[in-house]
Amino acid sequence: MEQKDKTSVKELFQIKNFLYLVIGAFLSSPGYYAYLLGSEWLMLHISENRAYLGMLFIAASIPRLLFMIFGGIIADRMNKRTILFISDLTSGLLVSFLVALIWMDSVEVWHLITLAVFFGISDAFSHPAMNSLVAEILPDSHLQQGNSVLQVMQSISPIIGPVAGGTLIVTLGFKGVFTLSAISLMLAAWTVYRIKLQKEETPSDLPKNVLEDFKEGLKYGLQNKLLRTVMFVSLLLNFVVVGPLTMGIPLLVKDVFKENALGLTTLEASLGIGLLTGAVLLTVLKSIERPGLLAIGGLIAQSVLLAVIGLMPSHYFAAGILFIFGLLMQGVNIPIMTILQAKTEKKMLGRIMSLLMTASQGMIPVSYMVTSYLIAVGLSITSILLFAGSIMVIFSISIFLMKEIRQMSY
């Protein structure tokens, strides 16, 4: 059985289009994470107003949310390879512009916020294209392993990106980290461009305009009980978790643990290593007998970890918490994504992936706003994390009572 699993993984990489997609993800993600780490630390460096850090995240999340549905419609109508190529290329050019501003010593808060807006728009188009392209390249029988392998490559990136980024900030400054980011994104664009997809005839029943496209995708999604349940769960979880955790990591490093950029690197890299470990385990397992129960168990454990991370005595203990958190995250994300890809009509994949991501992204700006407000009125990030984790524990246990989630299968 073990030999069969290894052969299947090897066969995945014999599919050239999938190989290029994986390499592109491996190159794109570290560039993106290096940019994120650099922009977070640069914002904390140029301004003492911690509210600006929240504005940085909000600036990316709102356009990502607004354009996500349109991104899914475009993914169903256009060559998905082309969408990914344009996304990586424009991201590389945006970071190159930031490098130029740093060389001229002209970076201001509004520059970082504006760049975050453009990155949010780019994400809105690239994510539906990426998730639907996997299902277009691979047969259903390879989807879990394909998603897992792709997650392995993408999970290496949150390790390489922050480690390289934090090291370059300390040794070469912000010029070094953003130059690395721009080069990585440009190389990803070149790799993705090598993907060759067969031209397909446009279906005769394809809606004639964007509005009809949207209505058809929404109707399909609302009639799918599994998708409705997953969207509802994603919306609530992202409201509770994303703002406190995303803003909490740099704030814990800076204000609680009193560490420098390498401390931030340690925490973010630990989360990345956990994501990598979880993806590798799911690749080896090949098939999960009860993916619904795995997802629920992961959510409950993540809830407890979120509550206690701010109580750790040092950033090394917090790094251990984030490692386990990342490992559990893959046990939730990969099975759910695989189920949706397998059970959705191929012609609807772009729109369904965008609906799912719109639901999951829908409360993120609100989460950032609420977290920023709580920080502004004087609540500590430790208290915010403890409160958010406690709410998530109650919510995760309530999810266990949902039959649709417990019985999810491929």
Res. 291: pLDDT tops 50: yes
pLDDT digits (tens, 9 = 90+) for 328-368: 988 888 777 777 777 777 777 777 777 777 766 667 778 88
Position 125 scores a pLDDT of 87
Give CA–CA dist 282/260, Å, rounded: 34
Res. 6: pLDDT tops 50: no
Considering the domain boundaries, does residue 343 fall inside one? yes
Give CA–CA dist 30/26, Å, rounded: 7
Position 94 scores a pLDDT of 94
pLDDT digits (tens, 9 = 90+) for 368-392: 889 988 988 888 899 999 999 999 8
Structure tokens at 54: 């929240």
Confidence tier at 7 by pLDDT (50, 70, 90): very low
Res. 143: pLDDT tops 80: no
Considering the domain boundaries, does residue 204 fall inside one? no
Position 12 scores a pLDDT of 77
Position 208 scores a pLDDT of 55
Lowest-confidence region among 113-122, 124-133, 337-346: 337-346
* CATH number (domain holding residue 110): 1.20.1250.20
Give CA–CA dist 204/129, Å, rounded: 22
Considering the domain boundaries, does residue 200 fall inside one? no
Res. 1: pLDDT tops 50: no
pLDDT digits (tens, 9 = 90+) for 155-212: 676 667 667 777 778 787 888 889 988 999 999 999 999 888 766 544 445 555 666 7
Considering the domain boundaries, does residue 198 fall inside one? no
Considering the domain boundaries, does residue 234 fall inside one? yes
The structural domain count of the chain equals 1
Considering the domain boundaries, does residue 10 fall inside one? yes
User: What number is the average pLDDT over the span 208-218?
Assistant: 69
Q: What is the pTM of this model?
A: 0.64
- Tell me what the pLDDT averaged over the chain comes to: 81
Considering the domain boundaries, does residue 203 fall inside one? no
Considering the domain boundaries, does residue 41 fall inside one? yes
Structure tokens at 57: 């995240």
Position 201 scores a pLDDT of 45
Domain with 393, as residue range(s), is 2-193+209-406
